[in-house]
């Protein structure tokens, strides 16, 4: 029948095809726009690049240069007034419902000039792909031809798919709800450990910790389907991974802190802070809870959650509450102070590796003299760090 389009599919069959189309859109955004264009964490074969570029234009109306520039600005200005879509600044509800609007507002000449380096600059980009209404209109015609009357519904869902998932869920919920493996200087969260529906972008905290890594999963139980597709493309020679994880290794028995130790710790600082929370703070809180009453145990549980947050994104009232609890538990307060002293060592390292080396030596000495076993153990753990190819 003419109203069923050229494919003549049933309603169920149409929505199966739509689901496939939506998945291809997600894969195109996460592999091409995000991991390839914005972060340059992998290289894609030219044919694959042009397919993704065309598909994104048709199904979202987005231009590579604009999307890349806005996303890079998000990373550079994350959780500040200049962040194009921070729920910390603008509110979760605003970002969730108006994320696409904030994205459009962020596309300014200044943003494009500052953050779009390395994006396509050919005639296709200038005369076709930056005309978003043309891509969306052409997709509507294709959907109507393929699916008939129901093609209008197919098209509407396609056009809403990325604004809902990328602008609303990732940029909104991904900075408000979920769990954190690491503590970068923002409010990013992993929404769920299985990054499938949104191509792996659900693992948002991992991405903000290692933005130049094409693999967004870091725990063995986390799933990044985008990485699965990268591995497939790499196997057949259509993709090449540029970078994956920080350059660092641990040498059993190593107890000297040298320049290589400094660089390795600087490279892997987010994993080190996650290990600090797990191996220093958590055991100390457990010991304090064993001696505490029921009310204090509740406070200590909340304290551990607060210690795992980035202190820059919690309120002054919460900070005051945290300090009040810590003063009642001197060993925990000492571990908290040592945590921030360790952070300061690699802030020094960003300027001078020799200063960082000396600061690490002093940090380890103080940890070993603290009388706190978990700190002593952690000092030995830090001493074992080095760069690959040494030791």
> Which residue has 């419902």 as its token pair?
97
Longest dimension (CA), the chain: 83
Helices and strands per DSSP (H, E), number in the chain: 19, 6
SS3 386: strand
Average pLDDT, consecutive stretches of 10 residues, N- to C-terminus, the chain (391 residues) = 80 95 97 95 95 96 93 92 91 89 91 92 88 92 95 96 89 92 89 95 94 92 97 96 76 88 86 90 83 68 66 65 78 88 78 82 94 94 83 50
pTM of the model: 0.81
Cα 126 to the center of its chain, rounded Å: 30
Residue 44's beta-bridge partner residues?
A: 239
What φ, ψ does residue 107 adopt, rounded to 5°?
A: -80, 85
Give all strands (DSSP E) within the chain, no chain letters.
42-44, 194-195, 223-224, 239-241, 249-250, 385-386
Given a contact cutoff of 8 angstroms between Cβ atoms, the answer to whether 255 and 383 are in contact is yes
58-82 per-position pLDDT tens digit: 999 999 999 999 999 999 899 999 9
CA angle 243-352-368, nearest 5°? 95
Supply the pLDDT for residue 374. Answer: 94
Supply the pLDDT for residue 330. Answer: 87
124-176 per-position pLDDT tens digit: 888 888 888 899 999 999 999 999 999 999 999 999 999 988 888 999 999 99
Supply the pLDDT for residue 15. Answer: 94
Q: Provide long-range contacts, Cβ within 8 A and 24+ apart, for 311-315.
A: 312/79, 312/185, 313/79, 313/88, 313/186, 313/187
Instruction: Identify the sign of the CA torsion 279, 285, 289, 290.
Output: positive
Whole-angstrom distance, CA of residue 313 vs CA of residue 163: 26
């Amino acid at each position: 029948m003419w109203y069923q389009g050229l494919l003549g599919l049933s309603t169920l069959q149409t929505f199966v095809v739509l689901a496939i189309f939506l998945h291809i859109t997600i894969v195109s955004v996460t592999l091409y726009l995000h991991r390839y264009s914005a972060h340059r964490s992998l290289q894609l074969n030219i044919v694959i690049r042009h397919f993704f570029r065309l598909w994104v234009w048709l199904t979202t109306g987005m231009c590579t240069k604009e999307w890349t520039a806005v996303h890079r600005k998000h990373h550079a200005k994350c959780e500040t007034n200049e962040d194009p879509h921070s729920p910390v600044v603008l509110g979760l509800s605003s970002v969730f419902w108006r994320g696409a609007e904030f994205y459009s507002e962020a596309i300014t000449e200044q943003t494009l000039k500052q953050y779009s380096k390395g994006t396509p600059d050919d005639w296709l980009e200038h005369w076709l792909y930056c005309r978003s209404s043309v891509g969306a209109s052409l997709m509507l015609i294709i959907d109507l031809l393929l699916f008939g009357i129901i093609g209008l519904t197919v098209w509407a869902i396609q056009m809403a798919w990325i604004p809902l998932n990328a602008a609303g869920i990732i940029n909104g919920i991904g900075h408000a709800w979920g769990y954190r493996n690491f503590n970068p200087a923002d409010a990013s969260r992993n929404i769920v450990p299985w990054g499938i529906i949104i191509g792996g972008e659900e693992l948002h905290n991992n991405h903000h910790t290692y933005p130049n890594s094409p693999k967004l999963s870091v725990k063995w139980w986390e799933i990044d389907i985008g990485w699965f597709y990268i591995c497939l493309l790499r196997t057949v020679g259509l993709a090449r991974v540029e970078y994956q994880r920080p350059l660092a290794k641990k040498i059993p028995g190593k107890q000297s802190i040298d320049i290589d130790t400094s660089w390795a710790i600087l490279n892997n600082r987010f994993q080190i802070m996650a290990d600090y929370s797990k191996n220093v703070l958590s055991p100390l809180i457990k010991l304090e809870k064993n001696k505490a009453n029921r009310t204090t145990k509740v406070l200590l549980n909340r304290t551990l959650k607060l210690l795992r947050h980035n202190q820059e994104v919690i309120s002054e009232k919460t900070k005051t509450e945290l300090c009040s609890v810590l003063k009642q538990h001197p060993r925990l307060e000492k571990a908290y102070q040592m945590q921030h002293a360790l952070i300061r060592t690699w802030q020094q390292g960003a300027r001078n590796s020799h200063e960082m080396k000396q600061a690490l030596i002093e940090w380890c000495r103080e940890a070993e003299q603290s009388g706190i076993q978990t700190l002593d153990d952690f000092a030995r753990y830090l001493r074992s760090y080095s760069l690959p190819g040494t030791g």
